[in-house]
Amino acid sequence: MLNLVLFGPPGAGKGTQAEFLIESFGLIHLSTGDILRNEIAAQTELGLQAKQFMDKGELVTDEVVIGMIKNKLTANSEAKGFIFDGFPRTVAQANALDEMLDENKTPISAMLCLEVEKQELINRLLNRGKTSGRSDDQDESIIENRISVYHEKTAPIKDYYAAQNKHFDIDGMGSVEEIAARLKETVKAL
């Protein structure tokens, strides 16, 4: 079983690259951002609560996102593997994920961290905001906050996976195809 954490700041290209990895390795894509946006679209209680955090570029509570991932893992128990996109985002989430995967003896294989310069992240997000309809991609101060939250709460997870020898930095600058090739090479070498 191949379980990958696709990691990096907002705008690093996680969603785009996840599509390539799913195709190449037959994995199931679990994006907590997508799941939350679906909840908002369906106007569920969870979605309405999450929206208040997402609109400001803050993180939704650990309890909520961990519960969502747990449900998805149970619902896809026959999967060949998963690609986690936008999860975990805190050390508490990383711990919870390890515990959930331990139950099935299917640990994380690697954490692939896309490294992208800050101005490029801002440009990509503002560009995506023109067509994505995502309000958190359209306001530069919210984008700045999302990047700060990443550095403060999410980036420390790199050390968590490095301690398990599972952390790989990938150059996330360049064309979509170039970055996809770098990721694929790293996964094949695992």
82 counts as binding ligand AMP under rule CB under 6 A: no
Binding string, 53-72, against ligand AMP, x = CB under 6 A?
xx--xxxx----x-------
Cα separation, 37 vs 180, whole angstroms:
25
Which residue in 23, 149, 27 sits closest to 79, CA to CA? 27
- What binding mask, one character per residue, do residues 131-150 give for ligand AMP by CB under 6 A, x or -? -----x---------x----
Could you tell me the strand order of the sheet in which 81-85 lies?
28-31, 81-85, 2-7, 110-115, 167-171
Report d(CA 25, CA 93) in Å as an integer: 25
Does 128 participate in catalysis according to the annotation? yes
Report the distance separating Cα 170 and Cα 168, nearest Å: 6
* Least distance to ligand AMP, CB of residue 15, Å: 7
Is 146 part of the annotated catalytic residue set? yes
- Options 33, 73, 96, 157; binder of ligand AMP; rule CB under 6 A: 33
Polymer length of the chain? 190
Enzyme catalytic residues:
14, 89, 128, 134, 146
Q: Which residues bind ligand AMP (CB under 6 A)?
A: 10, 32-33, 36, 53-54, 57-60, 65, 86-87, 89, 93, 136, 146
